Amino acid sequence: MARQGYIVHYRCFIIVFALCFAKNLRLQTAHRMILATEEFTDEEQLTSAMDKVCINFGKKILDIIPGRVSTEVDARLSFDKEGMIEKAKKLIELYKAEGIKKDRILIKLSSTWEGIQAARELESKYGIHCNMTLLFNFYQAVACADAGVTLISPFVGRILDWHVKNTDKKSFEPLEDPGVRSVTQIYNYYKKFNYKTVVMGASFRNTGQITGLAGCDLLTISPALLEQLSQSTDSLEVQLDKKRALESDLEKVEVDEKIFRWQMNEDEMANDKLSDGIRKFAADAIKLENVLRQKLA
């Protein structure tokens, strides 16, 4: 049903750092490499070290898996289209210097209007593949497909979290789950109107959300939920397929910047969750920066 995705993520960085990078040889190499060029300012050194650490983690993962790895662009650039493009190009360049082709990399960007337009340019002009994250709403998904991005990773569980926290309803049947419904609508829209953008559902809170999306292009499933699924003897029914998508009553919509911003503002959940997600990813980046700052001092 699903293939696992791999992600270079600041949150993991911190943990992995603590666990096994006490004697980080690669980081020391990065350190030396950076120190060799005296005219860099402290901030530039820090940025280079951050980039290098991202690449090293990606490389480590690519050494052990056959597929692709996602490397995230610093969330503090989420509203800076040119900044995201520059950073993505830089990361791909660093991978290339390590002998890794861009086909094995997905650049992970926030699904802000700016992020989506950055992805449009990265895909069309540079052939750099993007994984759009912090995606909670249909209009974000439509804008991503229009921009020709390779993959979106809508967050199913975080949509549920918002509803549990902000409404009276605390639990949902799988097919009534707001996260499942959101991804189903996006999947149907993509298939009905022949978009190639791949839908990779992510952030699951329970197995019902996963089985409720059986048939989706790809899903990111945590080891704990995979384990639960493997214990289950329930029959698994396909919920998403092209036939059902074609039968859905979805109509084609046009999403320009004004419509995108309006629709995001109308959708309290998506608006909250996008902002919250950016804040959290940014906080993680700062944590990692502080670790690196100490190492560089």
Ligand X SMILES: *[C@@H]1O[C@H](CO)[C@@H](O)[C@H](O)[C@H]1NC(C)=O
In the set 81, 102, 108, 273, the catalytic residue is 108
Question: Per rule CB under 6 A, is residue 201 in the interface with ligand X?
Answer: no
Structure tokens at 271: 């608006």
**Which residues are CB-contacts of 185 (< 8 A; sequence separation ≥ 6)?**
138, 250
What residues from 211 to 230 belong to the interface with ligand X (CB under 6 A)?
Answer: 220
For the chain, where are the alpha helices, taking DSSP H only?
10-20, 25-35, 42-64, 81-97, 113-126, 138-146, 156-166, 178-192, 207-211, 223-231, 242-247, 257-266, 268-296
What residues from 49 to 78 belong to the interface with ligand X (CB under 6 A)?
Answer: 68, 70
At its nearest, how many Å lie between ligand X and the CB of residue 12?
11
What is the C-alpha to C-alpha distance for residues 171 and 202, in angstroms, rounded to an integer?
19
C-beta neighbour count of 184 within 10 angstroms:
23
Q: Is residue 225 a contact partner of residue 207, using CB atoms and an 8 Å limit?
A: yes
Q: Is residue 219 a contact partner of residue 1, using CB atoms and an 8 Å limit?
A: yes
At its nearest, how many Å lie between ligand X and the CB of residue 191?
19
Question: Is 90 known to be catalytic?
Answer: no
Structure tokens at 159: 């949509």
Q: Is residue 288 a contact partner of residue 10, using CB atoms and an 8 Å limit?
A: yes
What residues from 149 to 178 belong to the interface with ligand X (CB under 6 A)?
Answer: 153
* Binding test (CB under 6 A) with ligand X, winner from 200, 221, 264, 292: 200
- Which residue from 184, 166, 165, 187 is spatially nearest to 174, judged by alpha carbons? 184
* Binding test (CB under 6 A) with ligand X, winner from 7, 94, 264, 292: 7
Query: Toward ligand X, which CB reaches closer, 133 or 209?
Result: 133
Q: What is the x/- site pattern for ligand X, positions 14-43, by CB under 6 A?
A: ------------------------------
Residue nearest to ligand X (CB): 5
Overall residue count recorded for the chain in this entry: 297
What residues from 94 to 153 belong to the interface with ligand X (CB under 6 A)?
Answer: 106, 108, 131, 133, 153
At its nearest, how many Å lie between ligand X and the CB of residue 75?
11
Query: Toward ligand X, which CB reaches closer, 31 or 190?
Result: 190
At its nearest, how many Å lie between ligand X and the CB of residue 180?
16
Query: Toward ligand X, which CB reaches closer, 87 or 108?
Result: 108
Interface residue list for ligand X (CB under 6 A): 5-7, 68, 70, 106, 108, 131, 133, 153, 200, 202, 220
Q: Which residues are catalytic?
A: 108
